[in-house]
Amino acid sequence: MDSRQAWAAVAVLLGVLPLVFDSVLSVGILNQMLIAVLFALSYNTLLGQGGLLSFGHAVYFGLGGYVAAHAMRLTELGSLNLPLVLLPLAGAAGGLFAALLLGSVSTRRGGTAFTMISLGLGELLAAAALILVAFFGGEAGISGDRTAGPALLGVSFARETEVYYHAAVWVFLGALCLAAFRQTPAGQLAMAVRDNPLRAQCLGYSAARVRLLCFLVAGTFAGLAGALFAIHNEIITSQALGTANAGQVLLMCFLGGTGYFLGPVLGAVLLTLCTALLSGWTTLATLYLGLLFVGCVMFLPDGLSGLVVQLHVRWRRGSLRPLVPPLARCALPTAALLLSGVLLLELAAREGAALHVAGLTLQAGNAWSWLGLAVAALIAAWLLRRELPALQAVWQQAGAAGDRQVRP
């Protein structure tokens, strides 16, 4: 399947999804996923492509969102008559403007200095958002009615599905642009500067200029994603440009893998799904995300997309079959370890309430519950420790000389 067919298939998939998952909640989650995908893709332009770790990328997302929210509010009040379909462009312009202003100082140096300055600017703007009430609306944020603008072909965007298709078109276009950017000489240069800035400079390219270009592209598409966010929620607050949001997008990219274009997409979809669904099941949702984050950085540094590529390589070489037996032997202890770990944490969080699982009732005050779970966890861990080296050995053998080493 070549890339054109792949893009066409994605377009079809995007069109069909809300017909399958058609409740208001599901379409809302799909919308969120789209926004997250574009945001993560823009962030990966900085991280994966440019090698620049930023802790303040949410600023451009937020600023794009604020521009769009103000435009919506002005349309609602009657002083502006912007159709909704053009709002993402306004957001992108806002993101670009902010990236120009702040990027010219941020991108002078790369590496740790860039990370630190991004952190400083992010904190500065997040704090300023609560002080400069005229633009940022204070704690309540800026709110606007998306149906107030002129209707397009009879569509007023009152329904969730209409907003979804609108976002789907913009995200598809944005992803196309970002994928195309990777193939342009400028995009390739960004990767060159990431890998060896000195060498790129010796070849005559200004590392700072290349970084700035990368930064501008990332900022523009982050602003676009922010505008889509403002349209979807009809409100934006200073939380959108805070460090929590910046941390989330970092997790998305790391989870999905920064080395491949589809990595952030995978990470964004999974993370949005997890946060939306987990919070309905447990109060420890953020704890599990933290564990996932740390686990991902430690055991899956290339992310899920890296894992998929490695599996694909082994499949191509026909060396997947010998993996199955050691995988099977590791699967049960891993599942048992994860289950007992989760149950232990949930029990600790219950504070006296009972936990019902598979016909058993576990109580925080009952020592047997704790003991049983701890013993189960220990046995599972011991079994896993015994079986893991075999799996690792077979894995290495299956992929010897076939793994692409990709460094974020």
Q: Contact between 131 and other proteins (CB under 8 A)?
A: yes
- Burial of residue 373, with CB atoms counted within 10 A of its CB: 0-12 exposed, 13-18 middle, 19 or more buried: buried
Candidates 26-34, 173-181, 304-312, 384-392; binding stretch for other proteins (CB under 8 A): 26-34
What residues numbered 218-237 form the site for other proteins, per CB under 8 A?
229, 233-235, 237
Which DSSP symbol is given to 49? Answer: I
State in angstroms the smallest separation of the CB of 146 from other proteins.
9
State in angstroms the smallest separation of the CB of 11 from other proteins.
25
Q: Is 143 helix (H, G, I), strand (E, B) or coil?
A: strand
Return the H-helix or E-strand segment holding 25.
Answer: helix 24-44
Contact call for residues 205 and 41 (beta carbons, < 8 A): no
Q: Contact between 280 and other proteins (CB under 8 A)?
A: yes
User: Which two three-digit tokens encode residue 384?
Assistant: 């896993």
Q: Contact between 24 and other proteins (CB under 8 A)?
A: yes
- Smaller CB separation from other proteins, 96 or 253: 253
Q: Contact between 327 and other proteins (CB under 8 A)?
A: no
- Give alpha helix (H) positions in 81-159: 87-106, 111-131, 133-136
Q: Is 152 helix (H, G, I), strand (E, B) or coil?
A: strand
Candidates 7-15, 199-207, 217-225, 250-258; binding stretch for other proteins (CB under 8 A): 250-258
State in angstroms the smallest separation of the CB of 159 from other proteins.
8
Candidates 9-17, 157-165, 181-189, 320-328; binding stretch for other proteins (CB under 8 A): 157-165
Q: Contact between 294 and other proteins (CB under 8 A)?
A: yes
Q: Contact between 134 and other proteins (CB under 8 A)?
A: yes
Cross-strand partners of 273:
none
Candidates 2-10, 82-90, 138-146, 377-385; binding stretch for other proteins (CB under 8 A): 138-146
Q: Give residue for tokens 């969102």.
A: 65
What residues numbered 84-113 form the site for other proteins, per CB under 8 A?
105, 108-109, 111-113
Of positions 201, 282, 319, 334, contacts other proteins by CB under 8 A: 282
Q: Contact between 250 and other proteins (CB under 8 A)?
A: yes
State in angstroms the smallest separation of the CB of 293 from other proteins.
4
Closest CA to 314 of 182, 209, 404: 404
Return the H-helix or E-strand segment holding 275.
Answer: helix 263-281
User: Which two three-digit tokens encode residue 354?
Assistant: 């009972």
State in angstroms the smallest separation of the CB of 351 from other proteins.
7
Q: Contact between 143 and other proteins (CB under 8 A)?
A: yes
Candidates 51-59, 84-92, 171-179, 365-373; binding stretch for other proteins (CB under 8 A): 51-59
Between CA 119 and CA 116 the distance in angstroms is 5
Please name the residues in contact with 298: beta carbons below 8 A apart, sequence gap of 6 or more: none
Between CA 77 and CA 290 the distance in angstroms is 43
Of positions 132, 176, 331, 338, contacts other proteins by CB under 8 A: 132
